[in-house]
Amino acid sequence: MLNFEGKRDAAKLDTIDLFVVDEDRSIARLEEALVSLIEKTPRRR
Q: What is the pLDDT of residue 39?
A: 84
Q: Are 19 and 5 in contact (CB under 8 A)?
A: yes
Cβ burial, residue 40 (10 Å; 0-12/13-18/19+): exposed
pLDDT single digits (tens) 1-45: 555 555 555 555 555 566 666 677 777 888 888 888 888 877 776
Q: Which residues contact 29 (CB under 8 A, 6 or more apart)?
A: 3, 4, 8
Q: Are 20 and 3 in contact (CB under 8 A)?
A: yes
Q: What is the pLDDT of residue 42?
A: 79
3-class secondary structure, 42: coil
Residue type, 40: K
